[in-house]
Structure 1
């Protein structure tokens, strides 16, 4: 089985910002790990935000943040 990431979704995730709350306007990758874990315990929001928060937690727990930071640097949003 081959894993093939959706490049467009990964690019969007790298530039997605928290839309509300204490961490509003922060990139998801920059959210505190404890905050992401709290969402997992309480339940991620429905839709794209929940999907991206869950994915961000997986990325952080596996030490893959440098990939997201590289995407942010090499593919800036206008």
Structure 2
């Protein structure tokens, strides 16, 4: 993980799929868990999805709250 990845979770939108246009930080846990089971896509999006799934799975999503723009 790169330190700037946490900021990217609250600024990057999902580029495709059922939740296209939603911030990665706002994706539902079930959707993230589906990727964890089926495989994350390659590249930056896959890395960010894996990071968000890990945060969500461990109940750490609130760590992103201070990074969100008010």
Q: Which band: TM-score by shorter chain? A: 0.7 to 0.9
| Structure 2 residue runs without a partner (length 5+) | none
* Structure with greater Cα Rg: 1
Scaled by the length of structure 2, the TM-score of the pair is 0.85
User: How many pairs align?
Assistant: 70
| Structure 1 residue runs without a partner (length 5+) | none
CA RMSD of aligned residues (A): 1.6
The corresponding residue for 1:18 is 14
Scaled by the length of structure 1, the TM-score of the pair is 0.78
Find out whether 1:49 has 2:38 as its counterpart: no
Q: Which of 33, 36, 61 pairs up with 1:37?
A: 33
